[in-house]
Amino acid sequence: MSDAPDTPEPYIVDHAMTALACDPRVGLLDATVTVIGAAVVVSGQVETPERRDAIATVLTEILPDFRIDNRVTIAERTAATPLAEELP
């Protein structure tokens, strides 16, 4: 049974976050999910466009009655000169 727009918001958020954590296509434990009317807004940071797209796919599957507003950003690291710290 999927959540409906009249499902209390905390349950929708909890179900969405659990799915994002446990679905092997995502495996993301620190997404932020909020419900605004009929929209589910998800934010956070992932490393690849594929992971960002997978988030929308999973949420669309479990919350078909909601519009998914995917605000997850991509933080791809590139080679750099990392900071060094001197310790005693």
Partner 1 sequence: MIRIAAVGDLHVGTDLRGRLAPRFAGIDDEADVLLLAGDLTRVGSVEEVDVLIDELAGVSLPKVAVLGNHDHHADVPAELMRRCRDGGIAVLEGESTVVEHDGATLGIAGIKGFGGGFPGTSLAPFGEAEIKSFANCTTDQAAALEAALRSLDTDHTVVLLHYSPIRETLAGEPPEIFPFLGSGHFAEVIDEVGADLVIHGHAHHGAEKGVTPGGIPVRNVAEPVIQDCYRVYHLGRRPVGSESLERTGSPS
Question: With contact defined as beta carbons under 8 Å apart, do 17 and 63 qualify?
Answer: no
C-beta of 18: minimal distance to partner 1 in Å? Answer: 13
8, two tokens: 């209390």
Among residues 35, 46, 34, 55, the alpha carbon closest in space to that of 75 is found at: 46
Distance CA 5, CA 37 (A): 8
**Which positions lie near partner 1, rule CB under 8 A?**
24, 27, 30, 45, 47-48, 50-51, 75-88
User: Minimum distance from CB of 38 to partner 1 (Å)?
Assistant: 27
Residue 44 contacts residue 30 (beta carbons within 8 Å): yes
Least separation in angstroms between residue 51's CB and partner 1 is 7
Compare residues 1 and 77 and give the one whose CB is closer to partner 1: 77
